[in-house]
Amino acid sequence: MPDRPTRVVSGAADNHASGAGAGQGESSVGPVELSFPVGDDLLVVARLTVSTVASRAGFDIEQVEDLRLAVDELCLLVVGGRRLGRIVLAMDAGPARIDVWCHYEGADAMPSDGNDDVDLSARILDALVDEHGADTRNGRAGEYLCLRRSPVDERPR
């Protein structure tokens, strides 16, 4: 049976119509949920989605780029060495912060050798975001991250 297609669900469909957008001020965006099959080639979908959500919420370009890298690491932590299944990302952004939660859906267990890059991913996340760690939502174990928006007076000019 083929994997279900990539699915994006957004509770912020009216933001675009009302003029909210990248560089157009601060707004709330989300919740947004993205589900896609495990695969390195589809991580670009996650990066694009999270960068769009953060841009629309008014985050600066440096923070958007940090978030793109952080989401890659978050997905790698959750998936480990698995090759089948789906990655589910949930995002919610407001004027002050963006929260991203990720979990794995699938029947296959984490490979017995585990994920050798867990420590490296954790160090990368330490450098890129304000908070990250294990979290359980709706009975599903996953990982989360939080990035707080830089105050306007601290942004590079």
What's the Cα-to-Cα distance from 143 to each of 6, 14, 60, 62, rounded to whole Å? 20, 29, 24, 23
pLDDT digit string, tens, across residues 13-28: 333 333 333 344 567 8
Please, what are the domains in the chain? Answer: 7-154 (3.30.565.10)
Dihedral sign for Cα 107, 91, 147, 140, please: negative
- Work out the pLDDT band at 64, boundaries 50, 70, 90: very high
- Distance from the Cα of residue 58 to its chain's centroid: 16
104-122 burial, b if ≥16 CB within 10 A, otherwise e?
beeeeeeeeeebeeeeebe
| pTM (two decimals) | 0.77
Backbone angles phi, psi at 111, to 5 degrees: -55, 150
